[in-house]
Amino acid sequence: MAMSTVRLPQGELEKALAARPKHVFIAGASRGIGEATARLLGEERNYRLTLAARSYNRCLGVAMDIGTERANGLRMDLLDERSIDEAVVSAESRFGPIDVLILNAGINLPTAVDDLSVTARNAFKQVLYINVIGTFYLAQLVAQHMPQNGRILFVGSVMARMGGAGSAGYVASKHAILGLVRTMAHELGPRGIRVNAINPGWVDTQMANEVLTRMATERGVTLQQQTSEMLSGQPIKRMAKPQEVASYLKFLMGPGGDCVTGQGIDLSCGSVMI
């Protein structure tokens, strides 16, 4: 049978692409900031959401709460290139090209300078692999088909602005993200793609809880003491809520982000002022 091609008049393809719901891929959507972002975007009907992490069941649970016609859960492990390949193919075949990529997945393991144990060296590699190498590979794959006016949003950290004893791997990974943001903004800007990072300070999630518990144990103080000491130097003396980070990501996805690219934007209750 002969195939015929329908040609849209000039500009119509762009209009059709702009009118369709936006496809947002969230890496690390199983809990914390990623889950909060999925739920915030899920309140509106004009998004199609791919929710990816290692915990497939949790991603699927969030997708089911939102509605499976608008959200899909996927298993993806940033340590495994094949699973990243499969996640992108599966996301694009379900909801089309990805308009917004939120690179939120990350880990923070102890990596002290004076710890030469195999465990600590492996932890350093794992943090760099997940937070930087796997994350960059995912961004490269998605950028290939990302339409004009697309957005790539990293969730970095204020640790990109300073050092942190005991966390060489995590600190190095978050510095590296700013390098990626600036480089990708240059390369992808001519295609209309904006690339930025949000740099949160303390955010009330499992990760913050684990890090603060580790610090409290090392110092022999309670978690409450450790937490209030950490927050005492901030002008706003509390942790951010995951929903507050989600709101900022959503802002950057909209017209408010149109002329912003190559930036690391601190969201830290004032713990960092640059």
Ligand X SMILES: NC(=O)c1ccc[n+]([C@@H]2O[C@H](COP(=O)([O-])OP(=O)(O)OC[C@H]3O[C@@H](n4cnc5c(N)ncnc54)[C@H](OP(=O)(O)O)[C@@H]3O)[C@@H](O)[C@H]2O)c1
Residues labelled catalytic: 170
Phi–psi pair at 265, nearest 5 degrees: -110, 115
- Residue type, position 32, single letter: G
Q: Of the candidates 24, 38, 41, 53, which one interacts with ligand X according to CB under 6 A?
A: 53
Nearer to ligand X, 130 or 181 (CB): 130
- With CB atoms as reference, the residue minimizing the distance to ligand X is 32
Phi and psi torsions of 199, nearest 5°: -110, 95
Q: How many residues bind ligand X (CB under 6 A)?
A: 28
Closer residue to ligand X, CB minimum distance, 131 or 261? 131
Site string for ligand X, 18-47 (x = CB under 6 A): ----------xxxxxxx-------------
For ligand X, the closer CB: 178 or 207: 207
Q: Of 103 and 147, which has the nearer Cβ to ligand X? A: 103
Of the residues 172, 203, 216, 253, which one makes contact with ligand X according to CB under 6 A: 203
Rounded to 10 degrees, the C-alpha dihedral 219/220/221/227 comes to: 40
| DSSP conformation class of 97 | S
Asked if 115 and 70 touch (Cβ cutoff 8 Å), the reply is: no
Q: Does 76 bind ligand X (CB under 6 A)?
A: yes
Residues recorded for the chain: 274
Q: What's the min distance (Å) between Cβ of 248 and ligand X?
A: 12
Binding of residue 62 to ligand X (CB under 6 A): no
Q: Is 155 a residue that touches ligand X (CB under 6 A)?
A: yes
Q: At what angle do helices 135-145 and 168-188 cross, to 10 degrees?
A: 20
- Our finding on whether 70 is near ligand X (CB under 6 A) is no
3-class DSSP assignment, residue 52: strand
Please choose, from the candidates 42, 29, 38, 148, the residue with its C-alpha nearest in 3D space to the C-alpha of residue 99: 148
Q: Which two tokens stand for residue 60?
A: 């699927």
Q: Which is nearer to ligand X, 91 or 147 (CB)?
A: 91
Query: Residue 267 has which token pair?
Result: 């969201």
The 3-state DSSP class for residue 23 equals strand
Q: Does 106 bind ligand X (CB under 6 A)?
A: yes
Residue in 37, 50, 111, 157 binding ligand X, rule: CB under 6 A: 157
Residues 6+ apart with CB under 8 A from 255: none
Q: Which strand (E) or helix (H) includes residue 27?
A: strand 22-27
Among 77, 81, 115, 229, binds ligand X (CB under 6 A): 77
241 binds ligand X (CB under 6 A): no
Closest separation in Å from C-beta 106 to ligand X: 3
Which residues here bind ligand X, judged by CB under 6 A? 28-34, 53-55, 76-79, 104-107, 130, 155, 157, 200, 202-203, 205-208
